[in-house]
Chain A
Amino acid sequence: MNTVLWIVFLPILLFVIGTFMLGYSRKYVARIERRYGPPIQQVFYDIFKLMSKKTNISHGWMHDFAILMLLGGTLLTMYFVPVPGFHFFAQYGDMLVIMYILLIPALGMALGVGETANPNGSIGISRALMMLAGYDIPFVLTFIGFAMINHTTSMYELIQVQQAGGFAGWGLISQPLLGIAALIALQGMLGEKPFEVMVAPHEIATGPMTEMGGKFLGIMMIQHAISIVVELTIYINLFLGGAVNWFDYLLKLFILFTALISVNAVFGRFRTDDAVRFMWKIPLPLAIIGILFIIF
């Protein structure tokens, strides 16, 4: 019975957490810029306003289906990532499945934006995919390293292993190199400032979101909120020993998110090829060396 409850309320729960985190991040960045910044619930207002827009421009059936695919994919990923107290779906799909499901929203958005036939959108998408190629290789590599040590590809079992070892068992502590590489890759995965070239406002009019307005943009913001929480949970499950209870989970989420957005707040934006070169020059070798340590 409580799995059904979990299934119904998990999306709402993560949406609320994600939106408050986004609101918090905007206030945090504002505070760094010595200004008050919007209230915490600002993102709720934005999403509500977008959803209540009178006209919602759409360029074709693929544009609509892409939005469904976008949020649908993120919800799918959400269910498969173990959260404290709920890992019902974990036995049906392991880390590899999660790695691939993460790509469905990206593909969905790409198809939808392609349908809008806006040149800025296409440039944005090509940059987003190149960035994907950049950060995904180190990230999957770190996971491969872990899966190899523990001879399992299931994320739930990895959490058990880490929790069994207590603080020292954390991924970040036992394999520091892999942890750091994954952290940098995570920065790219969340689309934070140094790797935010695909949504550059002035250069390509927020890239993929050029033609997204009204409820389309609203759903994209919902998706963005949930996916941030999901990706952070993945990192926590792999490297910070998963969460024993919800307080520990929220604490880790908060600390990790603050770390990332503080980097986001102070860094400028890389060019695409510089970003990919950075991703392939720093985190990738780190991950490879990490794996070499594991083998020998």
Chain B
Amino acid sequence: MSIVSNLLLLTLLGVLLNVIFYKSEVVQKYISLIIFAILTYLSIVMYPLVGSHFEIPFLIAGQHIGFTITYLNYYFALMITGITLLTVIFSLKFIKGKEGNTHYYTVLFLKTFGMLGVILSSDLLTFFVFWEIMSWSTFALMSTGGEPAHRSAFKYFVFAVTASMILMAGVILSYSLFGSFDFAVIHGKMASLSLPMTGFLLTIFITSFSIESAVFPVHSWLPDGYSNTFTTFTAYLSGISTRIGIYGIILFLFGVFGIQTVDKLGIIGKINFRYVFGIFAALTMIVPTFTALYQHDAKKLIAWHSVGQGGYMLIGLASGSALGIAGGMFHVLNHMAYVVLIVFAIASVEYRTGTTNLNKLGGLIKKMPVSYLALLFGIIGLAGLPPMNGFVSKWFIYRALILGGYPFLAIAAVIGTLGTILSVYKLIHNMFLGQLPERYNDVKEVGFSMQLPMWILMIVVLGLGVYPGLAMGLIAKIQVSLGLAAVPYALHGIKAASGQLDMLVVSAVFIGGIAVTWIIYLLGNRRKHVGQYNNYAGGNFLNKSVAYNFNYEFYAALEHVIDPYRKKIIERTERGIASVTDAVSEYIRRIYTGMINTYGIYVVTAFVVTIIILKELI
């Protein structure tokens, strides 16, 4: 049982070493690389130990700090350590010499420590302790990188503190209701609880996890928070950080409360807790995706998309059927793979050109083909088109929603997908296609250390796309461990008997189609390669000074259609709450008027009021 302690102690060691050597970047770099490599190895090797329990003999309020390995947290541990290793490899060169990167690796280690603790914990108290550490380290991680990062990190912090306070209330309320913090015990005693109290408790837990995983009404912290910090952190955060909230939802919705108790919370007819949660997930899919259309900054666009994709995961879980839940869980892995790939590509563009402003870039395919390929694989995955992995999990979710009889949630998913396709094309078009501006003539492709993670993720994205069975095995085991029906999976899609998805055949036919086209292509004469200025522009002469990309207001027409419906309700409510708190605190502040006479009158009024009140009590 030393694996879990090694994992956590190693991350702490990482934090310590990085704090000691905060002066020299080189030492920090290699320490982090080695430690994260070991961590990834450990989390892979952890598989046979699934099911074992491990405790630190330290008692808080009658509860030991306990850890246990289940299939679910093995799945998430793999993702966390894997992605952190890739981020470290990528940032070896990316972060060199950047201003404000002294504590780059320390914060990364702290965050991993928090996340590993959260997913490995076996009881509510350890869960909450590491949850606090995680939310503080996410705040620290978000505030590296300049002044705007501080403001957006502060906004995240306000949400995170509210989430952890609600979680604390939930943890201790369930402790007082069930008498113990342990998940298994609570799951056992769940039936004894009255219906309204179960509903209240479930809402508390699900709200705090929804804030962390940026569900619709409480998502406004994510876009600024993720895009103002270093781009490698944007990749890391949108890849795995918000998915810990999803882990919490899976754990509590199915592990602790169990699908039976959740389904008992019916409101009217078919509308039950899961349906209401589905509606929030549906809104999370539609609104952020269409806001992404308006963004001019690549990182913000992707951050809005990671909110949108979170909606897909949640709607999968909310559908409740074996297929839907498998789709939701699989989408967590898929999303992590392709969003990190996309943001690595954006990072390499930023590394070379120094900007991620979509209005200023263009034509980089001529200079950075590998990053283009990476972004292409990523956006095909994000849009959910067949050969890549995004499609498989979306197919599961769609099929679960349709067969489960949720037409309007399915409609929301469709609208979300189309919004994704549009904004995703804008990303690759504005950055890599079109005329190459003069100032980027000497841009080169990024070095090997940055290309390696991109190649790995490309293989993962395509591999999972063609052979989804690789991950479906683990997900089926998770479903069984959570007491749900396992999804009938085959190596390349759904088992033939029960469904209609065979990704191998789809990809094979696609390759066949391309081969046929290639033959037709060869029938014609040889192609003549021409430069970018040899272009038809109404007979005008194109040259450096007039090189024009159609980047700005790429979807102007659609924006005219959508604008009347964009009321920015969320921003207005947030400003409202902020001004109310300010007004209340301003009013309360004025109680202390500074006049000693009024203070005296306060004392006497308090005296009289106490007498009146206590007269009834005694």
| Sample of 7 further A-B pairs with CB below 8 A, known A56-B525, A122-B434, A276-B557 | A57-B528, A58-B530, A62-B365, A119-B550, A130-B555, A137-B415, A153-B398
Contact of B521 with A68 in the complex, beta carbons under 8 Å: yes
* Distance A70 CA – B403 CA, assembled complex (angstroms): 32
Q: With A72-B514, A93-B506, A114-B433 as given contacts, are A55 and B520 in contact (CB-CB < 8 Å)?
A: no
Contact of B536 with A210 in the complex, beta carbons under 8 Å: yes
Contacting B at CB under 8 A, from A130-145, are: 130, 132-133, 136-137, 140-141, 144-145
Chain A residues, CB < 8 A from B548: 119
Residue of B nearest to A271 (CB): B557
Chain A residues, CB < 8 A from B419: 133
Give the contacting residue for A133; candidates B436, B529, B558; CB below 8 A. B558
Residue of A nearest to B422 (CB): A129
Residues of chain A touching chain B, judged by Cβ–Cβ distance below 8 Å, are 11, 51-62, 64, 67-76, 79-80, 89-94, 96-97, 100-101, 103-104, 107, 110-111, 114-120, 122-123, 125-127, 129-130, 132-133, 136-137, 140-141, 144-145, 147-148, 151, 153-154, 205, 210-211, 214-215, 218-219, 222, 271-273, 276-277, 280, 288, 291, 294-295
Give the contacting residue for B529; candidates A60, A75, A104, A218; CB below 8 A. A60
29 contacts between A and B (CB under 8 A): A52-B524, A52-B525, A53-B524, A55-B528, A56-B525, A56-B527, A58-B527, A62-B365, A67-B517, A72-B513, A76-B509, A92-B500, A92-B501, A92-B506, A97-B395, A100-B384, A101-B506, A104-B385, A107-B380, A110-B425, A117-B532, A122-B434, A137-B414, A147-B403, A153-B398, A210-B536, A218-B524, A219-B517, A219-B521
* B383 CB–A CB distance under 8 Å: yes
* Distance A62 CA – B534 CA, assembled complex (angstroms): 17
- Min CB gap A160→B, angstroms: 14
Contact of B429 with A125 in the complex, beta carbons under 8 Å: yes
Residue of A nearest to B407 (CB): A291
Contact residue range for chain B?
Answer: 35 or more
* Distance A280 CA – B557 CA, assembled complex (angstroms): 14
* Distance A277 CA – B561 CA, assembled complex (angstroms): 7
* B200 CB–A CB distance under 8 Å: no
Contact of A68 with B514 in the complex, beta carbons under 8 Å: yes
Contact of B524 with A214 in the complex, beta carbons under 8 Å: yes
Chain B residues, CB < 8 A from A147: 402-403
Residue of B nearest to A77 (CB): B513
Chain B residues, CB < 8 A from A96: 395, 398-399
Chain A residues, CB < 8 A from B259: none
Contact of A273 with B433 in the complex, beta carbons under 8 Å: no
Give the contacting residue for A122; candidates B422, B525, B528, B550; CB below 8 A. B550
Chain A residues, CB < 8 A from B436: 117
Chain A residues, CB < 8 A from B433: 62, 111, 114-115, 117, 122
Chain B residues, CB < 8 A from A276: 557-558, 561
- Min CB gap A33→B, angstroms: 28
Chain A residues, CB < 8 A from B415: 137
- Min CB gap B501→A, angstroms: 7
Q: With A91-B496, A129-B425 as given contacts, are A72 and B535 in contact (CB-CB < 8 Å)?
A: no
* Distance A211 CA – B433 CA, assembled complex (angstroms): 14
* B549 CB–A CB distance under 8 Å: yes
Chain A residues, CB < 8 A from B532: 59, 117
Contact of B521 with A55 in the complex, beta carbons under 8 Å: no
* Distance A171 CA – B549 CA, assembled complex (angstroms): 45
Contacting A at CB under 8 A, from B495-521, are: 496, 499-502, 505-506, 509-514, 516-518, 520-521
- Min CB gap B347→A, angstroms: 21
Residue of A nearest to B418 (CB): A133
* Distance A110 CA – B423 CA, assembled complex (angstroms): 13
* B345 CB–A CB distance under 8 Å: no
* Distance A89 CA – B383 CA, assembled complex (angstroms): 24
Residue of B nearest to A50 (CB): B524
- Min CB gap A66→B, angstroms: 10
Q: With A53-B524, A75-B516, A114-B429 as given contacts, are A58 and B529 in contact (CB-CB < 8 Å)?
A: yes
Residues of chain B touching chain A, judged by Cβ–Cβ distance below 8 Å, are 363, 365-366, 369, 372, 376, 380, 383-386, 391, 395, 398-399, 402-403, 405, 407, 410-411, 414-415, 418-419, 421-422, 425-426, 428-429, 432-436, 493, 496, 499-502, 505-506, 509-514, 516-518, 520-521, 523-530, 532, 534-538, 548-550, 554-555, 557-558, 560-561
Contact of B502 with A126 in the complex, beta carbons under 8 Å: no
- Min CB gap A266→B, angstroms: 24
Chain A residues, CB < 8 A from B520: 51, 71, 219, 222
Chain A residues, CB < 8 A from B549: 117, 119, 122
Residue of B nearest to A133 (CB): B418
Chain B residues, CB < 8 A from A148: 402, 405, 407
- Min CB gap B75→A, angstroms: 25
- Min CB gap A222→B, angstroms: 7
Give the contacting residue for A56; candidates B398, B524, B561; CB below 8 A. B524
Residue of A54, A80, A96 most packed against chain B (CB within 10 A): A96
Give the contacting residue for B550; candidates A123, A137, A222; CB below 8 A. A123
Contact of A76 with B510 in the complex, beta carbons under 8 Å: yes
Contact of B521 with A64 in the complex, beta carbons under 8 Å: yes
Contact of A59 with B530 in the complex, beta carbons under 8 Å: yes
Contact of B557 with A118 in the complex, beta carbons under 8 Å: no
Contact of B537 with A119 in the complex, beta carbons under 8 Å: yes
* Distance A116 CA – B434 CA, assembled complex (angstroms): 7
- Min CB gap B514→A, angstroms: 4
Residue of B nearest to A110 (CB): B425
Contact of A136 with B528 in the complex, beta carbons under 8 Å: no
* Distance A235 CA – B432 CA, assembled complex (angstroms): 36
Residue of A nearest to B493 (CB): A92
Considering the complex of A and B, which 8 residue pairs feature the smallest CB-CB distances, nearest first? A114-B433, A215-B524, A75-B513, A72-B513, A94-B500, A72-B514, A272-B557, A122-B550
Residue of B nearest to A101 (CB): B386
Chain B residues, CB < 8 A from A120: 536-537
Contact of B501 with A94 in the complex, beta carbons under 8 Å: yes
Give the contacting residue for B535; candidates A75, A117, A141, A218; CB below 8 A. A117
